[in-house]
Amino acid sequence: MANNDIEMLRKELDDVNLQLLDLINKRASIVQEIGHIKYKQGVNVFDPVREKEMLEQLVAHNKGPFDNATVKHIFKEVFKACVELQEDHHRKALLV
């Protein structure tokens, strides 16, 4: 019985994983679009004030079970990966 429950929960987890995957890639695409506009304007892509605001908004909406420190840690990793993706994109553009 308990093993059936685990199987069911694992299927649910796989589903959530794929939804998360789609969302982080969607996030990366939006950040790329923003980066593209900023790049044309000659504005720096990384904006620490905006990043701080987003983290504050996330903490304000956090209902758990993750605590705020964990939410911030995970999102900082996602933000960093998005910034690196843009930098990589523009570095390649410069090489063309």
Binding-site ranges for its own copies (CB under 8 A): 2, 5-6, 9-10, 12-14, 16-21, 23-34, 37-38, 40-41, 50, 54, 57-58, 61-66, 70-71, 73-75, 77-78, 81, 84-85
User: How near is the Cβ of 10 to its own copies at its closest, in Å?
Assistant: 7
Closest approach of its own copies to the CB of residue 78, in Å: 6
Least separation in angstroms between residue 76's CB and its own copies is 9
E strands, 1-96, where? Answer: none
Q: Which run of H or E residues covers position 96?
A: none
